[in-house]
Structure 1
């Protein structure tokens, strides 16, 4: 028999960063894994996913918890569709209803934090970790209403850093956002590579123009912070800026083209949501 996360009668409350926020842990009755209807693997995956959702929920990692709830619900809905046992269908639907209710509560809580300007999510990238390409970090924040982006990064200087910025721009061009303007604030290359830096940025600027995107470039000798802001209110701060990938072993090595396969330096990513994104 497979059991889903245990129930608590009604919501309980936990303290998070000095605030009291609701954390309801939904219940489930044991469900059988047996049967010849081919639902065993789906049931196992669904149970493990919602179990992880509840664990993240209790740890106040609400954004990650919400993703797990949504994935778990989708798996359980597939089980309901494939199950012929009406009693079992009823139990699944009951649990799905409870998980959907909790997911909606989390959505409302996250939305309130966003409106209050208090949303904060932190991602720790370990040394040599892979799977952290730009899509992984930025895609979920690039909604269709994003039309303007600000990039503050002092290290868009050397060739590989210019390629980093180019790949980030490619992500913006692919959508689903409709970016029209990108503002880049960086610092000059202090060595002999300044002309190469300028020509590289101008080439990116011209290429973006072909896609209807304007790139505004500014330089500062005192810039230190690294952050990326979207005009939908999301702000992402990366300890190493866009340059958190390790140098590939060679031009024909795995990870040279696909950043998801490129080992990373250790760094921290902080995601915030503010009511208004400041202008440079």
Structure 2
């Protein structure tokens, strides 16, 4: 692939992110909009650097300036709202439509995993076969990237009684997390039905389908198999609360 084709591909990705940012902005989903603006701007800056045509450069600079101003405005708005809101009254609901794309764990969870988080508890009854364990592993990878002070994770799930595959897979995840300074505790429950993620900074996230919100691709060589930004989703609802607003046991600090 030539340089021109690569640049065109980057520009297409930038436009996709920025289009999504505008949609989220219009829907008042400002946190997610900021993330998309930032990702789109980063790609558009790459396009600007690789462009030789002065007229195109001028157009890109104008677009970058426009989107950057809006992103900064939203960042300040979100910061002010977080400073003023009462966590006990906070409730955000995200509706994920069937077959929609663009819903990654990073977009859903990363804004809640900051330096104040040291423990995370995941309740999901179906972290059993390999695809579901891989989903949990992807969530753990996000925690490693975003949570510098996380020291403990607890998974509560249902037991797979068909062989030892589930326990072996989760043991391997735990060994890998240990290399990053995180202890994984796994408990099995035969009565668990809820799907919930709790952070010990107070945030609680309920997902109708749990971590298993993605549809399988046609095969391992289909678009979306590696990049979950492009993976089609099942229909589900994500509810976000602060612990002061729900009756759940706190994660011990």
Q: TM-score, normalised by structure 2?
A: 0.68
Give the match for residue 129 of structure 2.
158
Q: CA deviation at 1:221?
A: 0.6
Task: List aligned pairs for 1:26-105, cutoff 5 A.
Answer: 56=27, 61=28, 64=30
Of structures 1 and 2, the one with the larger relative CO (CA 8 A, separation 6+) is 2
Q: Is the contact between residue 233 and residue 273 of structure 1 (CA under 8 Å) also seen in structure 2?
A: yes
Residues 1:272 and 1:111: Cα distance change in structure 2 (over 3 Å): farther
Give the match for residue 278 of structure 1.
250
The higher radius of gyration belongs to 1
Give the match for residue 240 of structure 1.
209
RMSD over aligned Cα atoms = 3.2
Q: Distance in 2 between matches of 1:65 and 1:251?
A: 32
Q: Is the contact between residue 123 and residue 195 of structure 2 (CA under 8 Å) also seen in structure 1?
A: yes
Deviations 1:72-127 (A, max 9, x none): xxx9xxxxxxxxxxxxxxxxxxxx9xx96x986765554444x4411111111111
Residues 1:111 and 1:126: Cα distance change in structure 2 (over 3 Å): same
Q: CA deviation at 1:251?
A: 1.4
Q: 1:121 aligns with which of 84, 92, 100?
A: 92
Deviations 1:129-182 (A, max 9, x none): 111111111111111221110100001001100100011101111125421100
Residues 1:233 and 1:162: Cα distance change in structure 2 (over 3 Å): same
Q: CA deviation at 1:278?
A: 1.1
Q: 2:153 aligns with which of 166, 182, 201?
A: 182
Paired residues, what number?
198
Q: Is the contact between residue 66 and residue 106 of structure 1 (CA under 8 Å) also seen in structure 2?
A: no
Q: Distance in 2 between matches of 1:160 and 1:105?
A: 38
SS of equivalent to 2:165? helix
Q: 2:225 aligns with which of 245, 256, 264?
A: 256
Q: Which runs of no fewer than 5 residues in structure 1 stay unpaired?
A: 1-44, 76-95
Residues 1:179 and 1:66: Cα distance change in structure 2 (over 3 Å): closer
Q: Which runs of no fewer than 5 residues in structure 2 stay unpaired?
A: 1-17, 42-68
Q: Is the contact between residue 181 and residue 214 of structure 1 (CA under 8 Å) also seen in structure 2?
A: yes
Q: Distance in 2 between matches of 1:118 and 1:149?
A: 22
Residues 1:244 and 1:103: Cα distance change in structure 2 (over 3 Å): closer
Residues 1:212 and 1:107: Cα distance change in structure 2 (over 3 Å): closer
Q: Distance in 2 between matches of 1:135 and 1:66?
A: 10
